[in-house]
Copies of this chain bind each other. A is one copy, B any other.
Amino acid sequence: MHKVRLEAGIVLGCRMKISLAEGEPNEQACADCAVRSLSICAALDRTELRELDHLGRHVHFRPRETVFAQGELTESFYNLREGVMRLYKLLPDGRRQIVGFALPGDFLGMATSARHGISADAVGPVAVCRFSRSSFARFIEDKPHLLRRVNELLVRELSQAQDHTVLLGRRLAEEKVASFLIGWRDRLARLGEATNRVPLPMGRQDVADFLGLTIETVSRTFTKLERDGLIEILPGGICLTDLERVEALAAA
């Protein structure tokens, strides 16, 4: 049996053209943005998009680079255009909890307080649109449709966080892993990658820190699911061999 590495598509940012520029002017207009329909920008009309062009700066990050960190002053907001990001919190003794993975279209960095409550860094190569907090605040201030859009995204995020809460508090390792695979697959599906082959651009440690497990338990659980015929472990991802049973576990 020959296993092919799961190639993540464009949304996961696996095309390796990386620029190191720190805030190049937007060579590409918002009007042509690939993730516009997914992001907060979906709420904007042509004029507003042109205005936004001047506010945002395209920035690229290499794998493992930090975009912003817990405790830092909130000076910018970010619209993720390409790639995957880890959002996490650290305890003083180094324990880490990943609160979520960000995908293209996600809007990051919102905070009531002056400082970021979480850290965010790039899983693979990442491209974002960066906005200065103050100018973005001015831009959004009097645009009810944009405010409603932000609202909508926040409610969705909150709902996701609540689901995650149930997973962490009340599910067994096997259910956590299955639930993660299904959830991740569904999110990718909304971006256009819809198969039962789920690319996992993040490593096992990331999965563990997301699910509140150790890396060993995640590894063992994957292996068990494979032995039981629910999944197949491929380099770079997972194939959901028996989708029904994985979904059953995830719902349990």
Specify which of A92, A168, A169 lies most central, judged by the most chain B CB atoms within 10 Å of its CB: A169
CA distance A156 to B111 in the complex (A): 8
User: Could you mark each residue 142-160 of chain A with 1 if its beta carbon is under 8 Å from any beta carbon of chain B, else 0?
Assistant: 1110011011101111110
CB within 8 Å of B: which A182-203 residues:
none
Instruction: Tell me the nearest residue of chain B to A91, going by C-beta.
Output: B170
From B99, B170, B251, contact of A165 by CB (8 A): B99
From B97, B147, B150, B159, contact of A166 by CB (8 A): B97
CB within 8 Å of B: which A118-172 residues:
118, 141-144, 147-148, 150-152, 154-159, 161-166, 168-171
A-side interface size class: 35 or more
CA distance A118 to B144 in the complex (A): 27
CA distance A212 to B211 in the complex (A): 14
Cβ–Cβ contact B212 & A168, under 8 A: yes
Instruction: Tell me the nearest residue of chain B to A110, going by C-beta.
Output: B155
Q: How far is the CB of A157 from chain B (nearest CB, A)?
A: 6
Cβ–Cβ contact A165 & B165, under 8 A: yes
Contacts of A62 on B, CB cut-off 8 Å? Answer: none
Cβ–Cβ contact B93 & A165, under 8 A: no
Cβ–Cβ contact B170 & A212, under 8 A: yes
A33 within 8 A of B: no
A96 within 8 A of B: yes
Q: How far is the CB of A200 from chain B (nearest CB, A)?
A: 19
Cβ–Cβ contact B111 & A170, under 8 A: no
Cβ–Cβ contact B252 & A155, under 8 A: no
From B148, B163, B212, contact of A147 by CB (8 A): B148
A95 within 8 A of B: yes
Instruction: Tell me the nearest residue of chain B to A164, going by C-beta.
Output: B165
CA distance A168 to B99 in the complex (A): 11
Contacts of A252 on B, CB cut-off 8 Å? Answer: 91-93
The 7 residue pairs across chains A and B that have the minimum distance between CB atoms: A169-B212, A147-B147, A161-B161, A168-B168, A154-B154, A97-B166, A97-B169
What are 13 A-B pairs at a CB distance below 8 A? Answer: A92-B251, A92-B252, A93-B252, A95-B171, A96-B170, A97-B166, A112-B155, A112-B156, A150-B151, A154-B154, A164-B165, A165-B165, A168-B168
Q: Which residues of A contact B (CB under 8 A)?
A: 89, 91-93, 95-97, 99, 110-113, 117-118, 141-144, 147-148, 150-152, 154-159, 161-166, 168-171, 209, 211-212, 251-252
